[in-house]
Amino acid sequence: MQYFIGIVPSEEYSMKIIAFRNKWTNNSIHDVVEPHITLKAQGGLTFKRAKPST
């Protein structure tokens, strides 16, 4: 299984991203997903490594 990590920026930065996206009239991505940054774990993040250490 592959893991992706989504980071949601602050409200202020999200508004800047939305304003940038809205420059294109045919862009409907805002109807599907909130602004975010997606990271893919290069080394094959596993469930065991994903758990916070206690």
What are the extents of the domains in the chain?
4-50
What secondary structure letter does DSSP report for 18? H
Q: Which pLDDT score is estimated for 44? A: 61
Per-residue model confidence as pLDDT tens digits over 1-47: 566 778 889 999 999 988 888 888 887 877 788 888 887 766 665 66
Q: Which pLDDT score is estimated for 43? A: 65
Secondary structure, 3-state, 33-54: CCCCEEEECCCCCCHHHHCCCC
Q: Which pLDDT score is estimated for 48? A: 63
Q: Which pLDDT score is estimated for 52? A: 56
Q: Closest Cα partner for 47 from 16, 6, 2?
A: 2
Q: Which pLDDT score is estimated for 3? A: 67
Q: Closest Cα partner for 15 from 38, 33, 35, 31?
A: 35
> How far, in Å, CA of 36 to CA of 54, rounded?
28
The pTM (predicted TM-score) of the whole model is: 0.53
Q: Per the structure block, which two tokens stand in for 35?
A: 């602004």
